[in-house]
A = this chain, B = another copy of it.
Amino acid sequence: MVEKAVAKAITALKERDLEMSHLVVAEDDLIDRKRYQLEEQCVELIATQQPLARDLRVIISVLHISVELERMGDYAEGIAKISIMMGNEPPLKPLIDIPRMTEKATDMLRRSLDALVKRDAVAAEKVCYDDDEVDDLYDQVYRELLFFMLQDPRTVQRATYLLWVAHDLERLADRATNIAERVIFLVTGKMVEINVSKY
C-alpha cells in the first residue's frame, strides 16, 4: 500500500494529475487504519498466546515497522498535498532527480521488507548503506533548486515545492533504513545505527 501510494503521488506530481493526488490523500486513511489493525493484532497475539521472548521480539519488530510504514504513507500524502498546492502550475523544471530518488527509496523499502520476511541481515545492511545515495541525490536536488532561485527569485515558490518533495523522499529512505536496522537487530541481536541523516 505504501509503495503504491508513493508511486501514485509522484506520477500525479509529474503528470499534474490533481485527481490522483486527491486520491492519494484520501487513501492514506486506509494505511493509517491498517497500522492500528496491525497493532491490535499484535496486542491480541501477546495477550492470548503468551509468546516466548523470541517470538515476542518478532511481534515487537512488527509493531515498530508498522509505524515506520505508516509514516512513509504520510510522506506520500505530503507529496500529494504539495502537488495540490501547486495547482495547475507546471513544475519548475523537468523532474529527473526526483523520480530517481523515488525509485531508489521505494527500492530500499521493498528490499527492507524482503529482508524482514527472509530474516536476512546481510541484505538489510545493504539497504542501510544505500541511504547515502538518496542523501546525495537530495544534495543534488537542493543545489540545483537553489541555483534556480539565485538565478531568478521569482522561482522561489515553485522551487520550494520541489524541495519539499525531495525532502519527503529523503525521509522515506531514512525510514526504509530504520526498518532495515530493525531487521538486523531482530536477526543478530546487534543494535546498529547506520543512519544518522544530516538533514
- Residue numbers of A with Cβ under 8 A of B are 32, 36, 39, 42-44, 46-47, 50, 52-53, 56-57, 60, 63-64, 67, 74, 77-78, 81-82, 142, 146, 149-150, 153, 156, 160, 164, 167, 191, 193, 196-199
Contacting pair B46 A193 (CB below 8 A): no
Contacting pair A56 B63 (CB below 8 A): no
Contacting pair A56 B67 (CB below 8 A): no
Copies in the complex: 2
Known A64-B63, A191-B36; contact A164-B47, beta-carbon cutoff 8 A: no
Q: Which B residues touch A57, using CB under 8 A?
A: 43
Contacting pair B191 A81 (CB below 8 A): no
**Which B-chain residue is minimally distant from A71 (CB atoms)?**
B178
Contact of A81 among B39, B52, B149, B198 (CB under 8 A): B198
Contacting pair B78 A196 (CB below 8 A): yes
Contacting pair A199 B164 (CB below 8 A): yes
Known A149-B149, A199-B167; contact A43-B60, beta-carbon cutoff 8 A: yes
